[in-house]
Amino acid sequence: MTTVTPPSSPASRSAAPRRRRMPRDLPRFLILCVLALLFLAPVYWMISTSLKTEADAIATPVQWIPRNITFDNYREVLTSPDGNILRWTWNSLFVAAAFTVGHVLLCALTAYPLARMQFPGRNAWFWFILSSLMIPGIVTLIPTYIMMLNFDWINSYNALIWPGISGVFGVFLLRQFFMGIPRELEEAARLDGASSLQILWRIILPLSVPSLVTLAVFAFMGSWNNFLWPLFTVTDVDKMTLPVGITTFSQRYVTEYGKLMASTTLAAVPALIAYLLAQRFLESGLSTTGLKE
């Protein structure tokens, strides 16, 4: 994909001061090249199949490079009467954005008193909500589904947004970060007459942007990639999220590989764009989150 071409620049940068070590590093480099080829092969095969005519897609011997490049698969998938990829993408975007905003807000409001205020029951409440991390999600699957039925929330965005929004890991993450902010800043603001809400808004949150962004990225990805819950709570084609919608294509186009691969390629595009934009946060967030040494 698009990431394949640009990396020559960072590569040459890191190589320059160590050129004399190259021969010893050569085997390692070659192994990495082979592994990278293996990792990229499925993606290459997905895109190349999506550009083939149906006859070429299943031709033997296989066409490693598409002979007659066509965009018909993309056109047909995008205009299919069986479902609308753009609509599903929008649904996923809306649900993930709403979930992320709500989740980060709820976690920040909860983490703030737990980190910066003294009050009876503080530790008890913290450990109580934290202990819910031990409860596997499968335990609440059926009852939450019945609740959605009772609320008449099946086939609505509500079912996709509300149930997981008061997550607890985010509270833990933000609390740890808030506790590290120096007391002096807060006390100075208090002397100036700032209310606690102003302190949260003007001091704590601006200083916590990295951890807020990390939490937001993970919340967004979690919602965007959620599969099991939307699969059962949304059956109305127009309300589906992208991951679920794409599987309905895969059931319909079970032998039309060109269209199938065109639809998966299209479904992968938003994630790839997001990855390119958020790469820094994603990898650094992942390597610091939950790993306190």
Partner 1 sequence: MTVTQAPPTTSTARAPAPRPRVSLEPYLYLLPHAVLFFLFTVYPIGYGLYISLHRWDLLSGTQPFVGGEFYRNIFTPGTPQADFFWKTLWNTTFFTIVSVPLLVAAALGLALLLHRPIVGRTFFRAVFFMPGILTVSVMGILWRWMFDNQIGLVNAARDALFSAPPIPWLSTEGLAWVPIVVGTIWWTLGFNMTLYLAALGNVPLSLYEAASLDGATPWQSFRFITVPMLAPVTLFVIVTTALASFQLFGQSLVITNGGPSRSTQSVIQYITEEGFTNAQYSSAAAMGFVFGLFMLIFTAAQFRMMARDVKEG
Interactions with partner 1, residue window 81-110 (CB under 8 A):
106-107, 109-110
Q: Give the shortest CB-173-to-partner 1 separation in angstroms.
A: 14
Q: Greatest CA span in the chain, whole angstroms?
A: 78
User: For residues 8-47, which are near partner 1 according to CB under 8 A?
Assistant: 8, 10-12, 14-15, 18, 22, 25, 28-29, 31-32, 35-36, 39-43, 45-46
- Whole-angstrom Cα distance, residue 92 to residue 114? 32
- Collapsed DSSP state (helix, strand, coil) of residue 208: coil
Minimum Å gap between C-beta 66 and partner 1 is 14
Binding of partner 1 at residue 224 (CB under 8 A)? Answer: yes
Which residue, 88, 39, 40, 45, is CA-closest to 63? 45
* Site pattern 45..84 for partner 1 (x: CB under 8 A): xx--x-------xx-xxx----------------------
Cα(173)–Cα(71) distance, integer angstroms? 45
Asked if residue 165 binds partner 1 (CB under 8 A), the reply is yes
Position of tokens 């293996």?
38
Our finding on whether 206 is near partner 1 (CB under 8 A) is: no
Q: How far is CA 84 from the centre of its chain?
A: 21
Written as six digits, the tokens of 38 are: 């293996």
Residue 123, both tokens: 């530790």
Q: Is residue 241 a contact partner of residue 91, using CB atoms and an 8 Å limit?
A: yes
Q: Binding to partner 1 (CB under 8 A): which residues in 226-255?
A: 227-228, 232, 242-244, 246-247, 250
In the set 143, 184, 209, 280, which binds partner 1 (CB under 8 A)? 143
